[in-house]
Amino acid sequence: MIAAAVALGALALALAWPVPVALAGAKWPSRSPATALALWQGIALGGGLAMIGSLLVFAAAPGGSLLGAATDLVPAVFAGPIPDAYAVVQIAAFTLAVGLAVHLALNLLTTAVRAERARRRLHQLVDLLAEPADSSGARVLSHPVPVAYCIPGIRTATVVTDGLVELLDEAELRSVLAHERAHLDQLHHLVLLSFRAWHAALPWFPIANRAERAVAVLTEMLADDAARRRAGTDPLRRALERLGAVAEPGPYADAGGIAPDAEMLEARLDRLSTAVRPLPGAARGAGWAAAAALVAIPLGTLAAVAV
């Protein structure tokens, strides 16, 4: 049990700092953003499971298994006393594990509720102010500033302004709409929401902010790839150059995304301006396998000591 707790703790430490720092500084994610996104999700979920699991396994060590500890401690919660085999340090570890799990779950729930409320407000404003969907499926707002964004959720909408329609030609506008629809089709708001919740739960944790931003860039690149397949690379690049850093403004961030900036735009334009070769199939497979392993290892360890 102690060996399992130490192993999970070592994994949690690795996923808390050196591994995500190395991934955030790597150059290859722009070549295969889907693989990098899977790794980020594996790091976040595996790290959380390893951290909480390490504390639980350590706390359960006197019982010989998680089930044995539960058999010892659950009756003690109602009738007492706590068995002498469980020292203060075990009780503290158990309390910390439960508290951390509840804290993360509540932050995820709170973040989801806030995002849903923001999406409903946006839908109400769009229904009130925008023209009905045109042949492209987009709602058009009468506003001179060139803007495009999507509102995700069960009910979705793609919104553009008159300023955007006047600024872009037909091919460029089609590429922007394809980019926004890719965000909706690929459910990027759910991925971003989970990392936003992680950042909100651990604001003092430096890697949480770095992870949220890295994931936001990857979702933009994935949406760009979908737009390139539907409308071509050159129209999308020209549209981004004209739009600048306002291609996807605040409303998308309020509804569960993250606001873009000049640095993010530059990374996307650099990728669209050069011939990007995807990673070899073996490398992509290894990345997906690593993402799965980061989650499977703590789950397997917990299962091994469960009974």
Written as six digits, the tokens of 174 are 């089609």
Nearest residue to 243 via CA among 172, 181, 292, 155: 172
Written as six digits, the tokens of 116 are 């849903």
> Would you put residue 256 in left (φ > 0), alpha (ψ -120 to 50) or beta?
left
Omega within 30 of 0 (cis) for the link into 81? yes
Is the Cβ–Cβ distance between 293 and 51 less than 8 Å? no
DSSP 230: H
d(CA 128, CA 244): 28
Domain coordinates in residue numbering, the chain: 1-86+279-307, 130-276
Nearest residue to 291 via CA among 53, 36, 54, 48: 36
Q: Give residue 23's pLDDT.
A: 96
Q: Would you give per-residue pLDDT tens digits along the chain (307 residues)?
A: 899 999 999 999 999 999 999 999 999 999 999 999 999 999 999 999 999 999 999 999 999 999 999 999 988 878 878 899 999 999 999 999 999 999 999 999 999 999 999 999 999 999 999 998 888 889 999 999 898 999 998 889 999 999 999 999 999 999 999 999 999 999 999 999 999 999 999 888 878 888 999 999 999 999 999 999 999 999 999 999 998 745 444 455 555 555 567 888 999 999 999 888 999 999 999 999 999 999 999 999 999 999 9
DSSP 17: T
Q: Rg for the chain (alpha carbons), in Å?
A: 23
Is the Cβ–Cβ distance between 158 and 150 less than 8 Å? yes
DSSP 255: T
pTM of the predicted protein model: 0.93
Mapped to the 3 state alphabet, what secondary structure does 89-134 carry?
HHHHHHHHHHHHHHHHHHHHHHHHHHHHHHHHHHHHHHHHHCECCC
Q: Give residue 248's pLDDT.
A: 47
Nearest residue to 173 via CA among 148, 142, 145, 141: 148
Element at 37 (helix H, strand E): helix 33-60
| 301 CB-near residues (< 8 Å, 6+ apart) | 4, 7, 8, 53, 57
Written as six digits, the tokens of 150 are 């999507």
Written as six digits, the tokens of 278 are 């995807």
Written as six digits, the tokens of 12 are 């949690």
Q: Give residue 207's pLDDT.
A: 83
